[in-house]
């Protein structure tokens, strides 16, 4: 288990982190979200002992030492492969930094290349690979030594939906094996799909903390999706309806001022008859991000 307690960090006059607290259990995925400059990278760098900070960060109730660092897999947002090396040389080099021998790692490489559908062979040089395949090689370097704590900073960058699904599968496999996983992404659909819980930072402070459903439900079920032959104007006259957006033919999204109006709207809209769609939901994670960040999500 990773435990972050009362962590703060200042850079001259800028307070990058202010009393941050969260835990990541073994076999759990945490999404660390926030707009650029919110403090996500500073949090990662504090966990990895790349910088000094105030507070306490422990792994399995002990400080993160060099021995613990060997159990961590870290994918930075900035890519850092050595393009003159072959795929095999690159993977072995980084694995040896984690105290894994070439004898241990080399037999695993072909299976990992297949897992991530890397185009090429382990003897190909990094510089010959496409951007997407270089990204997949760096992901392999992050995960091939089967770390107990995995930190992924924008791991889906440069990956198309098919290859992103391959990474998601690898993340779930690592979770099933008991790894504690943190990842940062600006794509809230990925966060909602993968995460057991999330922490949102804004200006170095935690503004959201909980499971995805807890966070969404805390904003109330104020989104009502309906399919009806009522007109947009008729729907706008319903109680507690703030706005109506047409989604498709006879399909609308109603924004409610009070989620408790849903029952009355259902009775008036259906009149006791069958209705194809009536779904009352909380705001999406993407909408919540925009509300809490105060800006359009990137």
Number of other residues whose CB lies within 10 A of the CB of residue 92: 22
Are 175 and 8 in contact by the 8 Å Cβ rule? The answer is: no
Structure confidence at residue 257 (pLDDT) = 96
Alpha helices in the chain (DSSP H): 40-47, 66-69, 87-97, 102-115, 131-143, 161-176, 188-194, 212-217, 232-236, 262-270, 285-293
Structure confidence at residue 298 (pLDDT) = 37
Name, in order, each residue with C-beta under 8 angstroms of 19's C-beta and a sequence gap of 6 or more.
Answer: 6, 7, 8, 55, 205
Structure confidence at residue 157 (pLDDT) = 85
Taking the CA atoms of 156, 195, 70 and 174 in sequence, report the sign of the dihedral they define: negative
Q: Which two tokens stand for residue 228?
A: 């009806």
- Cα angle at 196 between 214 and 224, to 5 degrees? 40
* Pick from 262, 269, 265: nearest CA to 230: 269
* Pick from 76, 28, 38, 75: nearest CA to 212: 28
Structure confidence at residue 77 (pLDDT) = 86
Per-residue confidence of the chain (298 residues) as pLDDT tens digits?
999 999 999 998 899 999 999 999 999 999 999 999 999 999 999 999 999 999 999 999 999 988 889 999 999 988 789 999 999 999 999 999 999 999 999 999 999 999 999 998 999 999 999 989 999 999 999 999 999 999 999 999 888 999 999 999 999 999 999 999 999 998 999 999 999 999 999 999 999 999 999 999 999 999 999 999 999 999 999 999 999 999 999 999 999 999 999 999 999 999 989 999 999 999 999 999 999 987 543 3
Structure confidence at residue 296 (pLDDT) = 40
Which residue's structure tokens are 């104007």? 233
The torsion angles phi and psi of 9, rounded to 5 degrees, stand at -150, 130
How far is residue 179's CA from residue 96's CA, in Å, rounded to a whole number? 20
Structure confidence at residue 297 (pLDDT) = 38
How far is residue 120's CA from residue 137's CA, in Å, rounded to a whole number? 11
Structure confidence at residue 70 (pLDDT) = 92
Structure confidence at residue 293 (pLDDT) = 85
Structure confidence at residue 40 (pLDDT) = 95
Structure confidence at residue 294 (pLDDT) = 73
Q: Is beta strand 149-153 parallel, antiparallel or unpaired with respect to 180-184?
A: parallel
No. of helices (H) and no. of strands (E), the chain? 11, 14
């Amino acid at each position: 288990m990773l435990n972050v307690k009362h962590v703060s960090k200042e850079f001259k006059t800028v307070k990058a982190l202010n009393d941050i607290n969260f835990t990541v259990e073994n076999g759990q995925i945490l999404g660390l979200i926030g707009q650029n400059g919110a403090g996500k990278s500073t949090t990662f760098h504090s966990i990895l002992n790349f910088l000094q900070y105030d507070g306490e960060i422990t792994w399995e109730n002990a400080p993160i030492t060099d021995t613990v660092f060997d159990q961590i897999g870290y994918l930075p947002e900035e890519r850092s492969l050595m393009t003159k090396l072959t795929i095999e040389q690159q993977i072995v080099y980084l694995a040896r930094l984690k105290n894994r021998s070439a004898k241990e790692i080399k037999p695993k490489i072909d299976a990992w290349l297949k897992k991530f559908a890397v185009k090429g062979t382990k003897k190909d040089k990094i510089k010959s690979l496409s951007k997407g395949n270089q990204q997949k090689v760096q992901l392999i370097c992050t995960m091939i030594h089967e770390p107990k704590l995995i930190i992924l900073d924008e791991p889906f960058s440069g990956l198309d939906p098919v290859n992103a699904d391959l990474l998601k599968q690898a993340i779930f496999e690592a979770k099933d094996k008991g790894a504690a996983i943190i990842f940062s992404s600006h794509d809230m659909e990925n966060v909602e799909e993968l995460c057991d819980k999330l922490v949102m930072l804004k200006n170095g402070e935690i503004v959201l903390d909980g499971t995805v459903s807890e966070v969404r439900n805390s904003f109330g079920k104020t989104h009502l999706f309906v399919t009806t032959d009522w007109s947009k104007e008729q729907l706008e006259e319903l109680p507690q309806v703030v706005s109506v957006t047409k989604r498709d033919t006879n399909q609308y999204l109603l924004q409610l001022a009070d989620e408790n109006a849903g029952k009355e709207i259902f009775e008036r809209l259906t009149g006791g008859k069958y209705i194809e769609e009536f779904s009352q939901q909380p705001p999406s994670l993407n909408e919540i991000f925009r509300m809490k960040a105060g800006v359009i999500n990137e």
